[in-house]
Structure 1
Amino acid sequence: MSVHETPRRPLRVSFEFFPPKTEAMEETLWSSVEKLAPLRPDFVSVTYGAGGSTRERTHRTVARLVSETDLPVAAHLTTVDATRAEVDDVLEEYWQAGVRHIVALRGDPPGGLGEAYAPHPGGYANAAELTAGAKARHDFEVTVGCYPEKHPESPHFEADIEMLKRKVDAGASRAITQFFYDNDVYERYLERVRAAGIDIPIVPGIMPVTNYKSLMRMAGLCGASIPRRVARLFENLDGDPATRQLVAATVAADQCLDLAERGVGEFHFYTLNRAEMAYALCHMLGVRPT
């Protein structure tokens, strides 16, 4: 089987948001939702903090999206610092709110990336168990995460791919990648996944560079590499946000257009609650208001 995904026209997109902390952030979020909604995304997702630290804000944001828009909504859920009963309660809350799509993730340790992860006693041990638990409770559509450069805690690629296979066997129907900036890395990963008999969509997660120093730190913790050719573009731009934004837009556009040329037909954008970059990238990919 070719490593290229079967191209679909028009291209399909989805957007990720996080629950706002302040009134100003809430205004920015809903302005972004209003801007992106006419692109008719497959779904929009809302993140969920470690140990349910954003549980109420996440649920409120999800419920408002369901009630005030006609967008398909996916709610993130993690296993961190929660018993199965507590996670099942959240699943039930989502179902009652009209949510039919879950993004099932193990989640980061309460101390953040870099801290050793330990399953909660009596909780779901990983995303595969969480996927199975969600499917057993209701007929949720389940999306999961995957790592083109291997999860940093996986001992080797074989173990990493096996975990993805367990998620699929538990009922996951889509995987979204951790961010990456080398499309060859994505293509090699797709080869590994298909060779393992996994045939669900592996959707590239696109993260435009907004703060290069923060990105470097995050990339180091989650095992994502930043090609030297990309790093060079952001040199000496710490004090020049306007130029940095233009460079970031160019890098993201080049990446997305190249992926589309390789046959990728579906993109997931980490928006950071800002619509401008995601909207522009969709425009260049030919995804426009209907």
Structure 2
Amino acid sequence: MDFYLTALLQGLCYSAIALGIYISMKIFNIPDITTDGSYTLGGAVTGIMLTHHQSTWVILPVVIVAGALAGALTGLIHTKLKINALLAGILVMTGLYSVNLIVLGRSNLPVSDLPSLFNGFHLIADPNQNTLIIISIFVIVITFLIGYLLKTDFGIAMRATGNSESMIRALGVNTDRMKITGLALANALTALSGYLIVQFQGFADISMGIGIVIVGLGSVIIAETLINWFKITSVWISLVLVLAGAVIFQLVLAFTLAIGVDPNLLKLGTAAFVLLIVSLPRLSFNRAS
């Protein structure tokens, strides 16, 4: 059970990145590759500040601002310089590799012996269950804040920008500002995942963000499939399903390893699972017709 509990905890750590990908991909229709760099940036800032004996509550706003700046830079390059969003994300991600290396000062930084968010509060004796409670509260608060934002007039304008940019622009909304804000928010959430995972796994690594966008995309694809299956229109339920997608994604990886699959084939198994989830509704529809 500890094996699956660890997968559950990792899924909750990655839930913030899933929410970030959901905002950039599903709300704004922007394939944001900045994710790989901003995730590592959040982890690097967390790791270096922990080694300087800063409180996790002091580190948290710094991580949010760092991730938001990375996302805003991508948004500025895309909207003001009129560069393709995918290319803008790649450029910022590439630049962030050097920034992250400068922040860390080395390729790997252990922090397992330092006070963290998960060992600073002892709600119950079992460390894994204690971590589960703390991270669950953290994720619930983040989800509530994002859900509340998306229900405000500003959030509705953000969603309308993704649905029909020309229409919302005709209503006087600055769509460039909306995109910049949306990408800043998405990457702030991504950096939060780096903040959580570094404290959970006990180290920050310069390569920790390589391919991490796939984790977020897989989580969102699972959530989107469930949303389409059950015809969900509620923002709150959609966000909960995004969180569930992040957890399911990690549990599938854990199950794949538990049944003895070669770790070298892990990515292949993951791709097959996501393909199956995406294909099932279409297969069912074709059979019905």
Q: Common fold, TM-score beyond 0.5?
A: no
Structure with the bigger percentage of strand: 1
Query: What TM-score do the two structures reach when normalised by structure 2?
Result: 0.29
Between 1 and 2, higher relative CO (CA 8 Å, sep ≥ 6) is seen in: 2
Structure with the bigger percentage of helix: 2
